[in-house]
Amino acid sequence: MLPYRRLVVKIGSNVLTQADGLPDVARQAELVAQVAELKRQGLEIIVVSSGAVAAGRSLITLPPRADAVRSRQLLAAVGQVRLLSRYAELLAQHELLCAQVLVTKEDFRDRQHYQNMQNCFQELLQCGVVPIVNENDVVSVTELMFTDNDELAGLVASMLNADALLILSNVDGIYDGDPSRPDARVIEHIAPAGPDLSGFVQATRSQFGRGGMLTKCSMAQKVARLGISVHIANGKRDGVLPALLREEVVNTWFQPSKRASGTKKWLAHAQLTQATVHVNAGARAALLASGQATSLLPVGITRLEGEFAKGDLVRLVDEAGHPLGLGLAEYGADKARERLGQHGQRPLVHYDYLFLTAAD
């Protein structure tokens, strides 16, 4: 049995949708029964569920030539009520209570919103409630939408310090080629410093979802770098969740790196920066040196773009403009400019508040 206690389970659109685009009610009931089984074993479960648009499609007929964005908002708004009601009814059959959590990308970018959500989730879990999470499609517009619910699930897993993220798709995992080919095989283990998967993972989107396997891989590797196990498995298989935890079903496991702090997990996804800090080659090498905890000192900074205050999020780039990471400033831009290039000064970004995105 895998040693997990807190799980984020992401259920994709293709798992909860039939070939005709309507909801697969039987599959949803089967998955809820699996969640209930895991709850009885003492695990904490957070569900990130797609399927609102399909549920809406079963309730309302759209006029021809309807606007795509508005149609999605309409279907999601109507369908979310039906989707959650069905979850509530199914969980009640197992004497479990669920809660609806609708979020936008901005909620994860603002530190206060982030902590408020974190506190709410913690309280729900403490009371034994199963949170059902989805994007608030009614207020999300194109530039502020999550890439898909895989991205949302990764954010939730990071925020809640989950032991594992289980992504349920309609395939058994990541294949080493086109899954339709008879010689294609599932890659069962991807190490922290594993290969670039873009060469053989298909970039096509799923039939009913917004994302595809390539976006799943990218997100999974990012979450695994934060110290969280990620599994991609086939949600159409009966009993897949308990079988996965018993290591009895084929899946792709992204092995986690050393666990990152809560602040670093937020930094990994909080991309709304106030300014850009350019560093020289020496600082770049020091920051990216393997196995070392290095803060950003003024001596390694060449220039600053934009204004920022103490506690603001800043973006770090090298001399060629390549991104290195994100961090929280220990003091404002005025003091930073005074200390530019000087030895013996306090770090502008302390290691504890620095998340590196580049690799040496």
Annotated binding site for ATP: 10
Strands 44-49 and 6-11: parallel
> Rounded to whole angstroms, how far apart are CA atoms 323 and 356?
9
Binding-site residue set for substrate: 50, 137, 149
Paired residues of 232 in beta bridges: 167, 252
Q: Which amino acid is at 309?
A: A
> Rounded to whole angstroms, how far apart are CA atoms 343 and 122?
44
For the chain, the first-to-last Cα distance in angstroms comes to 36
Task: Dig out the tokens for 258 from the structure.
Answer: 């050393």
> Rounded to whole angstroms, how far apart are CA atoms 68 and 55?
17
Task: Dig out the tokens for 133 from the structure.
Answer: 């999470």
Under DSSP, the state recorded for 175 is: B
Rounded to an integer, what is the distance from CA 216 to the centroid of its chain?
9
Task: Dig out the tokens for 270 from the structure.
Answer: 């909080």
b/e for 159-197, b at 16 or more Cβ within 10 A? bbbbbbbbbbbbbbbbbeeeeeeeeeebbeebeeeeeeb
Binding-site residue set: 10, 50, 137, 149
